[in-house]
Amino acid sequence: MSSQPLDFECPRCARPASQATYGPCADCRHQLRARFEGDGRQVEVARYEPKMNVVPNQVATKD
Ligand SMILES: [Zn+2]
């Protein structure tokens, strides 16, 4: 019974999907995986930017 696939709309592309679990369709999962692998480093770099901005600001406030 639980092995019956669910029929739902993909939350990402809104196209009908049929999978065992709710989530992005196979097509979207493919794109998401490529995105995670490709943008993974960019996200990490973006995290560092605010940190570096906080330090000069605190120093400037003390001045
Ligand atoms: Zn999709």
In terms of Cα–Cα distance, which of 21, 20, 24 is closest to 10?
24
Q: Does residue 19 form part of some domain?
A: yes
1 in a structural domain: no
CA 25 – ligand 1 centroid, Å = 4
CA distances from 38 to 12, 31, 56 (A): 19, 10, 31
User: Is 24 domain-assigned?
Assistant: yes
pLDDT of amino acid 12: 95
Distance (Å) from CA 20 to ligand 1 centroid: 14
In-domain check, residue 21: yes
CA 15 – ligand 1 centroid, Å: 6
From the CA of 19, how far away is ligand 1's center (Å)? 11
Distance 62 CA to ligand 1 centre (A): 51
Q: What is the DSSP letter of 62?
A: H
Each residue's pLDDT expressed in tens, for the chain with a length of 63 residues: 557 889 999 999 999 999 999 999 999 999 999 887 875 555 555 665 556 565 666 666 666
Tell me if 13 is assigned to some domain: yes
Q: Give the number of domains in the chain.
A: 1
What pLDDT, on the 0 to 100 scale, is given for residue 56? Answer: 61
